[in-house]
Structure 1
Amino acid sequence: MSAPPSTLGQVTPTDAEFSAIAQLLYETTGIVLAPGKTSMVQSRLAKRLRALGLAQYKDYITLVNSDAGRDERRKMISALTTNVTHFFREKHHFETLRRNVLPSLLEAARRGSRVRLWSAGSSNGQEAYSIAMTIAESAPDFANLDLRILASDIDPLMIAVGAKGCYPAAALESVPDILRQRYFELQGEHYQVASGLRDLVQFRELNLHDPWPMRGKFDVIFCRNVVIYFAPEAQARLWERFEEQLTPGGFLFVGHSERVTDGKHTKLRTAGVTTYQLNSI
């Protein structure tokens, strides 16, 4: 007999079940679920168990570890990852971008060079659009330049929100009025990112733990408040991969509590508050 709907997802995962879920999350994404997060796992996965009609975590674990459960595994990862973001979060980074980074990049772009920026772990796109607004304010002719922003995230639901570019009014509290007027259109109770700015950003689902499909390098990479959830070895490897993905002289912006691991072979050097630049030599 199947469990009544009212009890689906209400069971608490055992220590062994929590460990199995944590291990799968780590192997798939590099993200560490610290001990003591059992209640968080239950609250975030209860909806998934109810949707599948499952009463036991052991059945859910069997599913997400199977080939048939590949899609559910993505939904599990989506449920367990943290999506905290807002426009112009850590404002000093955007000031550094405007003052120290964009002038030479825009000059190169106007000479015909290709310029690429990456918002890695972009959540619902607010970081990527903050970058886009910073560019648009510095270069009103941005649409005529070979300049693009890649916004990637592991959560397909967040990618869909970002690609749509429609946000509730409360989400724009940190956007200056003049920028809101220039780059957003009020639609009912939501604000839609203007099409010209939206065209500057390309959204892609991407697991930072997996091989990256991008062939070209980036002049700027934002990866903020993402690596803190990774195990130390995964953190160190990600810094190395970002370094490999930067153009000479490129910039890496990280979160306020993150630091690039010191290493003998790194060419990344401090260039501001939680900002690094790749030596060109």
Structure 2
Amino acid sequence: MMAATDLRKTVQPQISLEDFLKFREYFYRRTGIFFEDSKRYFVDKRLLERMQRSGADCFRDYFMQLRIDLSGEEMQQLVNLMTVNETYFLREEYQFRCMVRSILPDIISRRQPGERIRIWSMPSSTGEEPYSIAIYLLEYWPDIEHYEVELVASDIDTAVLRQARQGVFSRRSLQYLPIDLLARYFTPCGNDYRLNAELRESVQFTRVNLHEPADTRDYRDFDLIFCRNLLIYFDDLSRRQAAETFFDALNPGGYICLGHSESMSRISSLFQVRKFPEAIVYQKPIEG
């Protein structure tokens, strides 16, 4: 007969509804990301994975470990597992066209040649968006020779940031990149492709939790922000807080681009709607 202690070891830990709700509230308070009930299977599966790796026998033990971990490493591991990073080069390209044809020409109309233009990509995921911005600027913005461009890319997920810095991408990530641009900026790397060193070094990657004021306090003086398909994971309160963070990060007259299914008008009244031929974007009012 199997001993009781051996029997207990064969029983897999489970996540109850109470556990799910408790974790959902905790994760929301820490990140601003809210998991709908429909995401429970996704959340439970990843929680059980971390419980197994940490050696916790039940959710209660794991949750206690999570809260007393002063290093924050376990929370970061959870964030890396819980965030979805689906992206590819030139995604929603119409906004990049808007950047070079309408947004940047408006910005430099109030600048002198040689001045700095700052662009922030948040979330950066594995780097496809910020590197797409860099390529688009080089290829399609003739005034790039007259201005200093600083491109900052941030994400809450440290694993995707490491991958982004390496600059190695699959054929799937590059499927919409024209062949001539692929040949110009990438070299084969096994079954993948690696971005050239000059472009990799042109983007500064940083870890940022948009829900944590200490993380975003120093992010200021940007002229253009890309924040696409992130706010759909937030609730109304977190969206408003994010809008205020981006408002503070922008220079007067600066712009923010959201995902095609997102609307700043339904989130905050801080920004003005700008309808350009290529896209609808949102502008911080120009003072004076």
* TM-score (ref. length: structure 1): 0.89
Aligned to 2:233: 229
* 1:102-181 map, 5 Å: 102-103=104-105, 111-138=113-140, 145-181=147-183
Unaligned runs of 5+ in 2: none
Secondary structure at the counterpart of residue 121 of structure 2:
strand
Q: Distance in 1 between matches of 2:202 and 2:112?
A: 16
Secondary structure at the counterpart of residue 25 of structure 2:
helix
Secondary structure at the counterpart of residue 72 of structure 2:
helix
RMSD over equivalenced CA pairs, Å: 2.5
- Following TM superposition, by how much is the alpha carbon of 1:73 offset from its aligned partner in structure 2, in angstroms? 0.9
Could you tell which deviates more after superposition, 28-37 or 151-160? 28-37
CA contact (8 A) 2:273 2:280 kept: no
CA contact (8 A) 1:256 1:274 kept: no
Q: 1:67 to 1:47 in 2, by over 3 A?
A: closer
> Which residue of 12, 15, 19 maps to 2:14?
12
Q: 1:215 to 1:120 in 2, by over 3 A?
A: closer
Letter in 2 for 1:49: M
Unaligned runs of 5+ in 1: none
CA contact (8 A) 1:109 1:147 kept: no
> Which residue of 33, 52, 65 maps to 2:67?
65
| Residues 1:257 and 2:272 are matched in the alignment | no
Could you tell which deviates more after superposition, 40-49 or 160-169? 40-49
Aligned to 1:88: 90
Letter in 2 for 1:239: A
CA contact (8 A) 1:143 1:196 kept: no
- Following TM superposition, by how much is the alpha carbon of 1:271 offset from its aligned partner in structure 2, in angstroms? 3.0
Q: Distance in 1 between matches of 2:190 and 2:65?
A: 41
| Residues 1:276 and 2:282 are matched in the alignment | yes
CA contact (8 A) 1:120 1:151 kept: yes
Q: Distance in 1 between matches of 2:110 and 2:197?
A: 25
Q: 1:226 to 1:171 in 2, by over 3 A?
A: same
Aligned to 1:43: 45
Could you tell which deviates more after superposition, 264-273 or 245-254? 264-273
Q: 1:182 to 1:107 in 2, by over 3 A?
A: farther
Q: Distance in 2 between matches of 1:164 and 1:177?
A: 21
Letter in 1 for 2:55: G
Could you tell which deviates more after superposition, 23-32 or 210-219? 210-219
> Which residue of 180, 190, 193 maps to 1:191?
193
Secondary structure at the counterpart of residue 65 of structure 1:
helix
Q: Distance in 1 between matches of 2:268 and 2:52?
A: 50
Letter in 2 for 1:48: R
| Residues 1:220 and 2:224 are matched in the alignment | yes
Q: 1:85-125 CA distances to partner (integer Å, 9 max, x unpaired)?
A: 11111111111112112345578888220111000111111
Could you tell which deviates more after superposition, 73-82 or 267-276? 267-276
Q: Distance in 2 between matches of 1:237 and 1:22?
A: 19
Q: Distance in 1 between matches of 2:83 and 2:267?
A: 29
Letter in 2 for 1:219: D
- Following TM superposition, by how much is the alpha carbon of 1:140 offset from its aligned partner in structure 2, in angstroms? 7.6
* TM-score (ref. length: structure 2): 0.87
TM superposition outliers: structure 1 runs of 4+ over 4 Å: 1-4, 104-110, 139-145, 262-265
Instruction: Give the length in aligned residue pairs.
Output: 278
CA contact (8 A) 1:165 1:198 kept: yes
Secondary structure at the counterpart of residue 173 of structure 2:
helix
Letter in 1 for 2:229: N
Q: Distance in 2 between matches of 1:133 and 1:111?
A: 21
Q: 1:166 to 1:106 in 2, by over 3 A?
A: farther
Q: Distance in 1 between matches of 2:190 and 2:28?
A: 41
- Following TM superposition, by how much is the alpha carbon of 1:142 offset from its aligned partner in structure 2, in angstroms? 5.2
